[in-house]
A = this chain, B = another copy of it.
Amino acid sequence: MLVLRSSPASPFGRKVKIVMQELDLSDRIQIVMADTTNPNDTLRQQNPLGKIPALILEDGFVLYDSRVIIEYLDHLAGGDRVIPTDPARRYRVLGLQALADGIADAALLQVYEGRWRDEAQQSETWKAHQRGKVERGLAAAETWPLDDSAHVGTIALACALGYLDLRFGGDWRDGHPKLKAFLDRFAARVPAFETTRVKA
């Protein structure tokens, strides 16, 4: 049995959970909650970076971050499932994943601003800098030639948009009709997106 350390709200943990279900690996992986802010959580022994998701293999080796875990799961499932091997598609898909992960990262850094600092320590300049990344990232995703298959690119994008929904409301839909339509189709087509949804 593999063990996945994650938390319900993590957009990167959600990527892995969706991939697990899409690849029919759920019965081989036990999900164990992790609290990244608790120094006594075993997470920091498992992943010295103290980050989720982390996947503990049967021999005790721990894989992180979400990209490495997903590549491993794709390999376990036979390969070429959620990460295309054909170079003409592969770097487009990995590029979309990097864009989506970057949007989620910039959103998380804004959330951390409130979680780790009192008001006097918060920086409007820093928050605006991260907001700029999200806004430009969404504009780029809006013009991306999105296909309807569930691969690491579309899965990462759905999780980034889902994280914006959770923490910043649905405002991102304004001015991004293609992304809105993409997420509606993705949610209808990929059951794991609904089962991993966290209520705000």
Contacts and interface: CB of A to CB of B under 8 A. Distances in A.
Interface of A: 39, 44, 48-51, 61-65, 67-68, 71-72, 75, 87, 91-92, 94-95, 97-99, 102-103, 106, 112, 116-117, 120-123, 125-126, 129, 132-133, 136-137, 139-140
Contacts of A68: 91, 94-95, 97-98
* Interface of A, helix, strand, loop or mixed by DSSP: helix
B136 A49 contact: yes
B116 A51 contact: no
State the number of copies, please: 2
Contacts of A123: 116-117, 121
B125 A116 contact: yes
A97 B68 CA distance: 10
A29 B56 CA distance: 39
A48 B133 contact: yes
A72 B92 CA distance: 11
A102 B133 contact: no
Contacts of A126: 112, 116-117
